[in-house]
A and B are shown apart, each in its own frame.
Chain A
Amino acid sequence: MPKGQMEGIVEITPWQKVKLARMPQRPTGLDYIERIFEDFIELHGDRYYGDDHAIVSGVAFLGKQPVTVIAQQKGRTTKENIARNFSMPHPEGYRKALRLMKQAEKFHRPIICFIDTPGAYCGLGAEERGQGEAIASNLAQMMLLKTPIISIVISEGGSGGALALGVADKVYMLEHAVYSILSPEGFATILYKDSSRAEEAAQDMKLTAQDLKQFGIIDGIIAEPQGGAHNDLQKMALDIKEIIETDLQQLIQLPMDTLLEDRYQKYRKI
């Protein structure tokens, strides 16, 4: 599936990938939603507490197929990022996502998730409203959803906050995306007692798409245009679309028991 692993860019170090994934020019969830789907209608709120702007979600057409789309959303500018809380969701974001996933199950719509977060937000309100419970519920419930799920890590997949949208039948990463247990800075602080050793941490953590594919943790890598996704957003979006369409065609045909058992086994064997 990773058509033409670009030779010229193989030299990129894990730390450079982390930086690339965090670049302000890096395409965001909404950039892809706009280009991959039609008639996207954003649906808001978790029905318990509020609407989390760090997660964009709604319904749309993928060609002729209605789908539910859920994306963690970074901003381009500081102002946008503050509004989006730097794509660090609160519990209500995860609960909104779960609400829409259950809705997708009810109406037999496939679910497409775009993962792009440094991690779930760490703050007073997040703890008070049960960040742990929100993430845990998503992990358990996504495993049982009777509809196909595809998750794509488009830039940063940080910790449980990323995994909460990442329990899926197919998990992909863009070629220069990273997916890890914690940010390299946090990891360095904990294990090396020195946050400035993040570069070394990025190396040791094995967080690149290539590492995760080799470990068998993700299903595939989606190649990026030369120099990164931002250099040709249109092509990047089309390539993602093609993979989603191909996979959905297969997943939709599977008997529900097989789909769910395969999903269980996918994580069971790790």
Chain B
Amino acid sequence: MNKNPFKAKKYATAKFNRVSIAEDPLQKEEERPNVPQGIMTKCPKCGKVIYTKLLLKNFKMCDECGTHFKVSAYERIIMLLDEGEIIEYDKQLTTKNPLDFPGYSDKLIKLQTQTGLVDGLVTGKGQIEGFPVMLAVMDPAFLMGSMGTAIGEKLTRTFERAMKECLPVIIFTASGGARMQEGIFSLMQMAKVSAAVAKHSEAGLLYITVLTDPTTGGVTASFAMLGDIILAEPGALIGFAGPRVIEQTIGQKLPHGFQRAEFLFEHGFVDKIVPRNHMKHTLGTLLRMHGDEYKL
């Protein structure tokens, strides 16, 4: 954690500019005209105006109140993996619109152009503090990180590859749930990915999930909750049903802090809440403890 990952040259590449702070939805508030584009970022919670460069150095956490800003999948990878390097798999894997849902194919193309992502998940192999790991990171910028057939397939392959190479899997979840536009096919991805998790687990391999804001619906109800160890970022919204759906169902306002990471922690569904600046070292330590040399 001593090395500052943001000094790595990689950060300046074009890929990142596409999902740069200037486009961060947090910035599209009324405050925007007051702040020179991209140079400063305002914390949505405490209102502190932070140098964007400083924010990036600080893992996109507000140095005043600790609020965790949303990060893209590639930003996450830079923060996490040694040298920010990933051998990416299935980068071009995309969905075929299995329901032939009206307008969906066009929407995908538009999103792909906007985000520079093919779908809402990046998978690959890398190292954390010297320990090799299969990593999957969801990107909420792509249709809320919702899981359709492309994401389901990539995740399944991640576990299958990990089994072949006897590697642990770490998944960072950020998703609104199963992708509506792929209907029953999305629902079935929950079973498919859970099956792969189960097999990986039977092989005695480690699986860690890190729940980030937001993790809901079919993702919570499948692989997100199946980790041997479940970590969460502070303040992340985590639940099965979204808060609005629950409010409509029960006809009352939800209590403060309901479905936040701390709430799940209190109810026994999260092992540990880890601030983003401690994530790499925490994961590195866990990986070290599960190394082959310690197996009895």
Q: What residues of chain B lie closer than 8 Å to A211, measured between beta carbons? A: 184
Q: How far is the CA of A182 from the CA of B239 in the complex (A)?
A: 16
Q: Which of A120, A124, A129, A181 contacts B187 (CB 8 A)?
A: A181
Q: What residues of chain B lie closer than 8 Å to A267, measured between beta carbons? A: 188, 191-192, 195
Q: Which of A127, A139, A206, A215 contacts B191 (CB 8 A)?
A: A139
CB pair B225 A133 closer than 8 Å: yes
Q: Does A212 contact B (CB under 8 A)?
A: yes
Contacts A141-B198, A267-B195: A181 and B186 contacting too (C-beta < 8 A)?
yes
CB pair A217 B102 closer than 8 Å: no
CB pair B258 A124 closer than 8 Å: yes
Q: What residues of chain B lie closer than 8 Å to A128, measured between beta carbons? A: 267
CB pair A137 B225 closer than 8 Å: yes
Contacts A122-B246, A127-B246, A139-B222: A181 and B178 contacting too (C-beta < 8 A)?
yes
Q: Does A155 contact B (CB under 8 A)?
A: no
Q: Does B254 contact A (CB under 8 A)?
A: yes
Contacts A128-B267, A181-B178, A268-B195: A136 and B226 contacting too (C-beta < 8 A)?
yes
Q: Does A160 contact B (CB under 8 A)?
A: yes
Q: What residues of chain B lie closer than 8 Å to A143, measured between beta carbons? A: 191, 194-195, 198-199
Q: What residues of chain A lie closer than 8 Å to B250, measured between beta carbons? A: 123-124
Q: What residues of chain B lie closer than 8 Å to A181, measured between beta carbons? A: 178, 180, 183-184, 186-187, 218
Interface size class of B (residues with CB under 8 A): 35 or more
Q: How far is the CA of A110 from the CA of B222 in the complex (A)?
A: 24
CB pair B184 A140 closer than 8 Å: no
Contacts A132-B239, A181-B183, A206-B183: A167 and B99 contacting too (C-beta < 8 A)?
no
Q: How far is the CA of A159 from the CA of B184 in the complex (A)?
A: 8
Q: How far is the CA of A131 from the CA of B241 in the complex (A)?
A: 9
Q: Does A210 contact B (CB under 8 A)?
A: no
CB pair A268 B183 closer than 8 Å: no
Interface majority SS (helix, strand, loop, mixed), chain B: helix
CB distance from B98 to the nearest CB of A (A): 7
Q: How far is the CA of A44 from the CA of B240 in the complex (A)?
A: 25
Q: Does A15 contact B (CB under 8 A)?
A: no
Q: Does B265 contact A (CB under 8 A)?
A: no
Q: What residues of chain B lie closer than 8 Å to A144, measured between beta carbons? A: 198, 202
Q: Does B134 contact A (CB under 8 A)?
A: no
Contact code string A169-196 (vs B, CB < 8 Å = 1, else 0): 0000000000111100011001100000
Q: Does A69 contact B (CB under 8 A)?
A: no
Q: What residues of chain B lie closer than 8 Å to A268, measured between beta carbons? A: 156, 192, 195-196
CB pair A182 B180 closer than 8 Å: yes
Q: Does A233 contact B (CB under 8 A)?
A: no
Q: Considering residues B199, B225, B239, B250, which has the most beta carbons from chain A within 10 angstroms of its beta carbon?
A: B225
Residues 78-119 (chain A) with a chain B CB within 8 angstroms: none
A contacts, CB < 8 Å to B? 120-124, 126-133, 135-137, 139-141, 143-144, 159-160, 163-164, 166-167, 179-182, 186-187, 190-191, 204-207, 211-212, 215, 217, 264, 267-268, 270
